[in-house]
Structure formats: C-alpha cells, structure tokens
Amino acid sequence: MNRLDWCSRAGGPLRGSLRIPGDKSVSHRALMLAAIAEGDSRIRGFLEGEDTRATAAVLAQLGVRVETPAVGERVVHGVGLHGLRGSPQELDCGNAGTGMRLLTGLLAGQTFDSILVGDASLSKRPMRRVTEPLAQMGAHIDSREGLPPLHVHGGKALHGIRYELPVASAQVKSALLLAGLYAAGDTEIIEPHPTRDYTERMLAAFGWPITFSPGRARLAGGYALRATDVDVPADFSSAAFFLVAASIVPGSELRLPAVGLNPRRTGLLQALRLMGADIVVEHPRESGGEPVGDLLVRHAPLHGIDLPEALVPDMIDEFPVLFIAAAVASGRTRVCGAAELRVKESDRITTMAAGLRMLGTAIEETPDGAVIQGGAIGAGTVESLTDHRIAMSFAVAGLVATGPVRINDCRHVATSFPGFPELANGCGFALQVAD
C-alpha cells in the first residue's frame, strides 16, 4: 500500500449536516451472525471500511455468499450454525482487531482448522486475552507467543465456562459468546466495567436465548440463529472527530444525523460536556434495537478536567481526539485508568504524546494516561504510525493550529472512515494530501 501523508490547515467555521458512515462494531457483528444464521439477512448502513470488508471477505472464504446490492448494503446468505467450510488459505483480517478476535471465537468451535493473519499493526496486538479463555473452553489455538498469526484447530469439543474478564473488553466478551454458541452448557461472562453490548443485543435479535445486563452476559450452546435484517447506525467513534472539531473552531455549527448512542459508546459526549461543550441530542429514538439521535454541536470554549475514570471504557476509542480537545482547552486535563490505549492500533498514549509535543503542547505521559496542559497548538509534523484515529485526530488539530500540521502515514483512515477527507473538507476543513 502506498504511503499517504496529509496536511491540515486552519479552516472553518464548520457548518452543515454530515452523514457519518456506519458503525464498525455493529457491521462486523452483523456480518458474522448473519453468516451463521439460517436464511438471508440484509444489512443496511453497513460500513464500507477496510476492516469490515476484510471480515466479509473472510466469511466468503468460509463459504458464505455475501452480496453487495448497493454501497452500504450487504445481503448475507446464512449457512446455519454448522454450515461454514474450512479454507486452505490464510484468513486475512487486515488491520481489524475486532475482526480477528471475534472470528477466533467463532472459529474455535468449528470442525476445520483456520489460520488468521493480519497486517503489521494487528500482528503486534495481544491475542492471549482471547486464546487463554478459549483454551479453558476446550479450544486449541496456536499463536506466535500471544501474537498473530493464530492457528485455530478444529474438531475440539467446547464447553461453557464462567469467566471474569481481567480487563474490560467487548472484543474478548464477544469472542467467548460466539464460542459459547458451539459449547456444551452455559457460557457466562462477567466484566470489570460494562462494555458495548452489541453482540448480546444482536444475538437476541437473531433469536438466540441470552440473558444480559450491564457487566454480565450468559448463554447456552445448541440453539439456532434466525436471519434478521440489521440497520446499522452511524458510528459514534467517527462522529467524535466532528464533535471535537466543531467544539474548538469558533462559529461552528454541525448536525450529525442518526448517530448510534449506545450508552457504552458515548463517554466522550459526557467528557466534552464536562469540558464545557455545547452538544445537544435531538430526536432521540430507537433504530434496530439501538438508541440513536441527531447530534447538534456548536462551538464553545472548553476547559480542562480530571476525566472521571468510570467514563474510560465508554470512550475507549475516542482518546486521541479527546487529547486534541484537551490540548486546546484552557487549563489542565488529567486522564488515568486508560492503560488499554497502549494496545490499540498503536500505543495511543505514546503516539498522541509524541505528536502533541511536536506541535508545542505540554503533555506528560503516565503508565495509564496523560496530563495535558491546554493552550495554543502550533505547526509541525506528526506521525500517525498508520493508526487511523490518530491521523484523523491530528487533522482536527490542524483546524486550530497556528500553522500547517503535516500528518504522516494516513492510509489506514479508510479502515474505519472511508471518505473522511471529502466529508471534512465539505464542512470547512482544509485537509489536503501532502507532497
């Protein structure tokens, strides 16, 4: 893949109504459950990102017919719980941690072997968090000392377990629930903090008996999934860049329609409001079993906060852009309890700290967070380390910087947010490909 660098300059005010692409977490899960359901499921609002397309391609390799009747739509011809076929080729999850971890759970109970691989970033991400509990369920998975590639051995009889997650992770929870579909007896997951519950909600929508409440989920193996149509809401994590951008650029007013507002995703909304942001949820409603609403965000002066630790799991993907808000806010922002940021697509604490320092922000890294002294953001060159959310966060920083911000290695933005530069420039960003 060719290298792609961006240059983001002062822009705005940001104005308009922006259609944010579909939710990545929901799109992955919809594909997987539809694949092993009985009958045909239509997914509307599907994220046309590289991550979710990689999952669709893996499922196709496993014998599932996935049609694309229109952009942002998939029809999945489900093969039933036991209808997947093994592939002699490696299954390439690309950059997607969600794809790889959930597929590992799904594949652990199959009759055939699978080999899951990923790109350079995914190949550095910890997998023991899924392989160890799956081994407790009877699975046999070889890894490269806890890292991908993963060789998932087939033909293992799985049994349910009661598992207390050591770290809050919806991916691990979901992997175990998917394995639990194939396991004898009950699989019960207890989380240290509640995480996004899309797998649980969607399993229920596909007709699988499951009980769940914040922080707990329990199901038994041996039922069947019935095909169901899924409406994917706009991804709150993608909306997040525009929530911060409009908050920090004077004169801005943006509307973001039909954004998913699952409470386990909207911690940034609360954090920004604590910092003084002016964000209103209009027309709150339900769509496809998920809370959604139209977000109206207007510029407001932000001030630093001590981020309540309880919000961390509900905004785990939004820290890069929160760091930008903090760098622009008056006063100091302190983040702690967020060590998980170190094992995302990059070490997001170190990558953000390095980038912000290049732009003149005083930021002190801690093992599980950072202390950021707000003020003016300067011009400079930052490294995204191919991390999509880091790249988009520094594009937001460029809007208010005193000079151009060059962001190196932005090619992975399409993993989660295809069309970001076009959408951003359409509402007032000044974002260009750098020479």
By the rule CB under 6 A, 27 interacts with ligand S3P: no
Does 298 carry a binding-site annotation?
Answer: no
CB of 253 to ligand S3P, least distance (A): 29
DSSP character for 21?
A: P
H or E element in which residue 274 lies: helix 267-274
Residues 55-114 contacting ligand S3P, CB under 6 A: 98
H or E element in which residue 258 lies: strand 253-260
Residue closest to 236 by CA, chosen among 253, 254, 261, 257: 261
CA distances from 382 to 339, 357, 364, 375, 386 (A): 22, 9, 17, 18, 11
β strands within 54-110, DSSP E: 65-70, 73-79, 91-92
CB of 193 to ligand S3P, least distance (A): 10
Locus of tokens 């919000």: 311
- Comparing CB distances to ligand S3P, the nearer of 249 and 271 is 271
- Comparing CB distances to ligand S3P, the nearer of 30 and 246 is 30
Name the amino acid, one letter, at 61: Q
d(C-alpha 323, C-alpha 407), whole Å? 16
317 catalytic per annotation: yes
> With CB under 6 A, what is the number of residues at the site for ligand S3P?
10
By the rule CB under 6 A, 382 interacts with ligand S3P: no
By the rule CB under 6 A, 270 interacts with ligand S3P: no
Q: Which range binds ligand S3P by CB under 6 A, 74-82, 170-178, 241-249, 402-410?
A: 170-178
Q: Which range binds ligand S3P by CB under 6 A, 14-22, 167-175, 347-355, 369-377?
A: 167-175
CB of 171 to ligand S3P, least distance (A): 3
Does 255 carry a binding-site annotation?
Answer: no
CB of 196 to ligand S3P, least distance (A): 6
Q: Is-contact 108 182, C-beta < 8 A?
A: yes
Among the listed residues 27, 110, 143, 174, the single contact to ligand S3P using CB under 6 A? 174
Q: Is-contact 52 28, C-beta < 8 A?
A: yes
By the rule CB under 6 A, 171 interacts with ligand S3P: yes
CB of 191 to ligand S3P, least distance (A): 10
By the rule CB under 6 A, 316 interacts with ligand S3P: yes
Name the amino acid, one letter, at 226: R
Q: Which range binds ligand S3P by CB under 6 A, 165-173, 216-224, 227-235, 350-358?
A: 165-173
- Comparing CB distances to ligand S3P, the nearer of 59 and 170 is 170
Report the largest interatomic distance among the alpha carbons of the chain, rounded to a whole angstrom.
Answer: 61
CB of 291 to ligand S3P, least distance (A): 17
Q: Is-contact 74 48, C-beta < 8 A?
A: no
DSSP character for 225?
A: P
The residue from 23, 92, 231, 317 that is catalytic is: 317
Among the listed residues 317, 318, 387, 409, the single contact to ligand S3P using CB under 6 A? 317
d(C-alpha 105, C-alpha 101), whole Å? 7
| Burial readout 256-273 (b: 16 or more C-beta within 10 A, e: otherwise) | bbbbbbbebbbbbbbbbe
By the rule CB under 6 A, 387 interacts with ligand S3P: no
The phi, psi pair for 359, rounded to 5°, reads -95, 10
- Comparing CB distances to ligand S3P, the nearer of 25 and 131 is 25
- Comparing CB distances to ligand S3P, the nearer of 168 and 377 is 168
d(C-alpha 70, C-alpha 423), whole Å? 20
Does 124 carry a binding-site annotation?
Answer: no
By the rule CB under 6 A, 200 interacts with ligand S3P: no
**SS3 of residue 124 by DSSP:** helix
Does 121 carry a binding-site annotation?
Answer: no
Among the listed residues 170, 240, 341, 396, the single contact to ligand S3P using CB under 6 A? 170
Q: Please, where are the H alpha helices in 294-373?
A: 319-328, 348-358
Residue numbers in the known binding site for phosphoenolpyruvate are: 24, 97, 125, 171, 348, 389
| Interface positions with ligand S3P (CB under 6 A) | 25, 98, 169-171, 174, 196, 316-317, 340
Q: Give catalytic residue positions.
A: 317
